[in-house]
Amino acid sequence: MKKFILRVLLLTLLWQISSASAADTPDNAAKIDKLMSQYADCCSFTGTVLVSDHDKVIFKKGYGLANREWNIPNTPEVKFRLGSITKQFTSMLIMQQVAKGTIELDGHLSDYLPYYRQDTGSKVTISQLLSHTSGIPSYTDAPNFFADVSRNPYGVEEFAKKFCSGDLQFEPGTKFHYDNSGYFLLGAILERVTGKTYETLLKESIFVPLGMKDSGYDHHADILANRATGYQQELGGVENAPYLDMSLPYAAGSLYSTVEDLYKWDQALYTHKLVPNELKQRLFTPNLEHYGYGWDIRTIPTDEPGAGQTVISHGGGINGFNTLEQRLVGDHDLIVIFNNTPGANLGEMAKGIRAILYEKEPAAPKRPLVPDLGETLVNRGVDAAVAQYRELKRTNPHGYNFDEHALNQLGYMLLEKGRNADAIAIFRLNVEEYPKSGNVYHSLAEAYAKDGQKQQAITNYRKSLELDPKNQNAADKLKQLEQK
């Protein structure tokens, strides 16, 4: 009798534990909703979020407006431009061709694109294009690209020859430099090898097989149901994002999707539906700087929620949009965040969601500096904005995001508007705040160079390289200035 009672008690206890575990999902969903609502209220977040836990979607919701002029709300069904999340789809298409034997990872660029310059193309491999180690300059690094080029349509071959064929910045395979040109060229290779357009390949090889009916190549002219409008934070407030011809991001950043379709994509990546397992694992094998083929692969640090887990992720940024996808592959968790008013820190948002999934307290959101300091810059000038920054940091150090990127963003906004002296003042403040960061000296050097202060630019590029010897862009700019 005692054994029977003990067994009943044990079963009851197990049932209670199971019930409590099952109750965690709605509880976590409520916590995620609370956190995302805080970001929407304070921190310029307007977008959609999806979270899955052990392969099961536990949360999906939209915040803010998909279109501000018509007051159309964001929902999980809204389609967002993905930006560089596109790269993981390009890398999968390449691997599918590798599986068919039409492309070799050790094959060279000139083997597949006979119109590409032979001296460079004969040195660069497909693997190096996939891993951002080719040394080919990225077309988006060109200082005049967005101002002079980004609105114009180009054919694939024409654009590849004109904007993706600069002299090598380093010996292929020796360094990592994030490179949109490399992924543009991968798209060109796919078209050349298959005789099909990049867009057709995506539909036939990935989207249709996986049922991703709300994903595709974004064409401005198309009537696309549930398409989000992209916005950007300017000094005086939020504006419509500038037009970008989508023939330019191409295989590096041209796709649109929904958070729900990226969940379908995530689930497929745990199977062998698209490519044999051996080749799939190459996508997730880190090369230089933790980058595989179209994916960033890292171990979560010990001081963050989910410590020790492998997180396979990628972000994206394109006019009016920023996006983030994180796959915690050990527990089959997924976090997808899309935003159509860039400004909120998506990485911090994802970290907060991870905290909830791992039963930790998420950090409180921090308000971005640009909306407040931008208004001051417009109405009262840069000295007042610098004074406001110091006062906010003194009186509300935990309420705002005071990291180095906040002032950098503000400085570049000023630089784009030709307010060079004001940009220099903001970048100098950032150097004062973060004297051990090579990035802030790089930004200050750029502002001095644009303002024609050559010696000051050289001094700050040298300091940037002293603190960050891997900064190839700073090395190239310094070389150009010293040659002049």
Q: What is the pLDDT of residue 353?
A: 98
Domain holding 315, by residue range, is 83-357
Domain end marker among 357, 384, 419: 357
Residue 75 within any structural domain of the chain: no
Query: Rounded distance, CA 115 to CA 188, Å?
Result: 11
Residue 26 within any structural domain of the chain: no
Co-location of 308 and 385 in the same domain: no
Q: What is the pLDDT of residue 37?
A: 97
Average pLDDT of the segment spanning 374-395: 95
Domain end marker among 357, 389, 418: 357
pLDDT above 70: residue 35: yes
Co-location of 343 and 446 in the same domain: no
pLDDT above 90: residue 3: no
Q: Quick one: pLDDT band at residue 483, thresholds 50, 70, 90?
A: confident
Q: Quick one: pLDDT band at residue 97, thresholds 50, 70, 90?
A: very high
pLDDT above 90: residue 20: no
pLDDT above 80: residue 117: yes
Co-location of 330 and 398 in the same domain: no
Residue 113 within any structural domain of the chain: yes
Co-location of 227 and 349 in the same domain: yes
Query: Rounded distance, CA 129 to CA 181, Å?
Result: 9
CATH number at residue 449: 1.25.40.10
Contact 214, 258 (CB under 8 A): yes
CATH number at residue 222: 3.40.710.10
Average pLDDT of the segment spanning 11-30: 52
Question: What is the number of other CB atoms lying within 10 angstroms of the CB of residue 27?
Answer: 12
Residue 17 within any structural domain of the chain: no
Tens digits of residue pLDDT in 140-158: 999 889 889 999 999 999 9
Which residues neighbour 401 within 8 Å (Cβ) at sequence distance 6 or greater? 345, 348, 366, 367, 368, 369
pLDDT above 60: residue 17: no
Q: What share of the chain is helix, strand, coil (3-state, %, to 5)?
A: 50, 15, 35
Residue 427 within any structural domain of the chain: yes
Task: Output the DSSP codes for 327-360.
Answer: EETTTTEEEEEEESSBTB-HHHHHHHHHHHHTT-
Residue 70 within any structural domain of the chain: no
Co-location of 251 and 283 in the same domain: yes
Q: Quick one: pLDDT band at residue 1, thresholds 50, 70, 90?
A: very low
Tens digits of residue pLDDT in 177-229: 999 999 999 999 999 999 999 999 999 999 999 999 999 999 999 999 999 99
Written as six digits, the tokens of 126 are 């497909």
Query: For residue 424, what is the DSSP state?
Result: H
pLDDT above 70: residue 111: yes
pLDDT above 50: residue 13: no
Query: Rounded distance, CA 435 to CA 438, Å?
Result: 8
Co-location of 396 and 300 in the same domain: no
Average confidence score pLDDT of the chain:
92
Co-location of 343 and 198 in the same domain: yes
What is the residue whose two structure tokens read 């527990």?
A: 331
Q: How far apart are the first and last CA of the chain?
A: 95
pLDDT above 60: residue 24: no
Contact 330, 315 (CB under 8 A): no
pLDDT above 50: residue 407: yes
Tens digits of residue pLDDT in 440-473: 999 999 999 999 999 999 999 999 999 999 887 8
Buried b (16+ CB within 10 A) or exposed e, 438-455: bbbbbbbbbbbbbbebee
What is the residue whose two structure tokens read 């080749």?
A: 279
Domain end marker among 294, 326, 357: 357
Residue 301 within any structural domain of the chain: yes
Minimum mean pLDDT range among 229-238, 350-359, 389-398, 472-481: 472-481
How buried is 275 (Cβ within 10 angstroms: 0-12 exposed, 13-18 middle, 19+ buried)? Answer: buried
Average pLDDT of the segment spanning 330-347: 95
Co-location of 402 and 296 in the same domain: no
Co-location of 315 and 386 in the same domain: no
Domain tally, the chain:
2
Q: What is the pLDDT of residue 473?
A: 82
Co-location of 179 and 309 in the same domain: yes
Co-location of 325 and 393 in the same domain: no
Residue 228 within any structural domain of the chain: yes
Residue 346, Cα to own-chain centre: how many angstroms?
9
pLDDT above 90: residue 4: no
**How much of the chain, in percent, has pLDDT values that exceed 90?**
87
Tens digits of residue pLDDT in 282-328: 999 999 999 999 999 999 999 999 999 999 999 999 999 999 999 99
Q: Quick one: pLDDT band at residue 248, thresholds 50, 70, 90?
A: very high
Written as six digits, the tokens of 290 are 């933790």
Backbone angles phi, psi at 333, to 5 degrees: -100, 150
Co-location of 187 and 97 in the same domain: yes
Q: What is the pLDDT of residue 25?
A: 61
